[in-house]
Amino acid sequence: INILGIESSCDDTAAAVIQDGVLLSNIISSQKVHESYGGVVPELASRAHQQNIIPVVDEALKKAGIARRDLTAIAFTRGPGLMGSLLVGTSFAKGLSTALNIPMIDVNHLQAHVLAHFIKEDKDDQNQPSFPFLCLLVSGGNSQIIVVKSHKEMEIIGQTIDDAAGEAFDKCAKVMGLGYPGGPIVNKLANLGDPNKFKFNKPHIQGYNYSFSGLKTSFLYFLRDELKNDSDFIDNNKEDLCASLQKTIIDILMDKLRKASKDLNIKEVAVAGGVSANSGLRDAFEDHAQRFGWKIHIPKFGYTTDNAAMVAISGHYKYLDNEFCSMDAAPFARVTV
C-alpha cells in the first residue's frame, strides 16, 4: 500500500510517501514570504502553495522511488486551516486522484498531529503509544487534551477557550519585538534566562480547558509599566522574560494535563503539535515521567510542526478501514461541532 500524503493547511507545502505504514519520503517547503509581515498572510500562502505543490510532490515521489502509477491512494488535509491554502491541496489531490484513477482520503489536520506518533521510519520501529493514551495537542491554532482511544476515535476533553499556546508564544514574542514565528525564538532565549525572575498570573479555568489571552494581556501591561522606568527594559531582560514566560505557559499546560491523567488514571501521555518542539515542555514531560510514572511519547522535531508524513500515516489507517472521500469533498476552515 503506497499512500501519498499532502499537507497545505497553513504556510507549509508538504508531501510524503508511506509504504505499508513505513515512511519513505517526507518533503516540506516552508514559505518565507510571511516573515516580514510578522504572521501568515493567507493570500500569499495560497499562491505559494500553488507554486510549490507540484515540485514538492514530485520530489517526495522521487525520493521514495515510487512512480505515480504505483500509488494506492492520496491522502490530503481537508481542514481545519486557511481556506485558500486548503483549497490548493484539496484540488491537487482531486486532480491527481482522477488522473490516476485511485481513491482519495480526507484527513483532519488535528488528528494528523496526534497520529504523527504512529509514523514508522522503519518496519521494526516499536515506539508507538498504546491505547488509550492522553495527547496534549499544542500548536499555533489549538491547545487540547485528547483521550486517544484508537486511530480514529479521539475525544477532546479540554481545549482553549481563547488563544492557543503557540499563539501565546508568538504574540508575546511580537510584543518583545522578536521575529516570527516567536515560539522557537522565545525557546532559544529562554534557555539562557532565569525562569523564576518574573511571575505572571495563571488563569483559573474550569475542567481541563485552557486560556492564554489573559497571559498575553498581563505580559503586555507588565512590559508597558517597566518600559516607563527603563526604556531598555526588554533588551536588558530578554532572556529572563522569555524563560519566565515559557515557564508560565508550560506550567499552565502541565497542571491540566496532570489533572486529566490523575482523574482518568491514564499514565500513557503524548505531546503533539508545533509547541511540542519546545525544549522546556519536553523537559517537563521527562520530569513527569520520573515523578508520576508516566510513559511519555515525544515526537521527533520534524513531526511536531506541520508535515505530510502525519497526513500520510493518517491516510494509511483510514485506507485500512476503507474510509475514502468523494470528489465533492470541500475543505473546511474550522472545526464545527
**Residues in contact with ligand ATP by the rule CB under 6 A:** 9-10, 81, 109, 113, 139-142, 166, 169-170, 181-184, 187, 273-275, 277-278, 305-306
Asked whether 123 and 164 are in contact (CB, 8 A), the reply is no
Q: Does 244 bind Fe ion (CB under 5 A)?
A: no
Among 12, 163, 170, 306, binds Fe ion (CB under 5 A): 306
- Helix, coil or strand: residue 307: coil
Spatial contact of 10 and 86, defined as CB atoms under 8 Å apart: no
Is 26 annotated for ligand binding? Answer: no
Collapsed DSSP state (helix, strand, coil) of residue 71: coil
Does the annotation place 241 within a ligand binding site?
Answer: no
Comparing CB distances to ligand ATP, the nearer of 103 and 166 is 166
Supply the minimum distance, in Å, between the C-beta of residue 210 and ligand ATP: 13
Those residues whose C-beta lies under 8 Å from the C-beta of residue 52, and which sit 6 or more positions away, are 13, 29, 31
**Residue 140 among known ligand-binding residues:** yes
Contact partner, 103, from ligand ATP, Fe ion, none, Cβ < 5-8 Å per class: none
Q: Which does 46 bind (CB under 5 to 8 A by kind): ligand ATP, Fe ion, none?
A: none
Residue 187 near residue 279 (C-beta atoms within 8 A) = yes
Q: Provide the minimum distance between the beta carbon of 166 and ligand ATP in the complex, in angstroms, as a whole number.
A: 3
Instruction: Decide: 114 and 148 in contact? Cβ < 8 Å.
Output: yes
| Beta partners for residue 137, in sequence order | 144, 272
CB nearer ligand ATP, residue 21 or residue 184: 184
Nearest to 136, CA basis, from 148, 125, 124, 144 = 144
Least distance between Fe ion and beta carbon 336 (Å)? 18
Residue 139 contacts Fe ion per CB under 5 A: yes
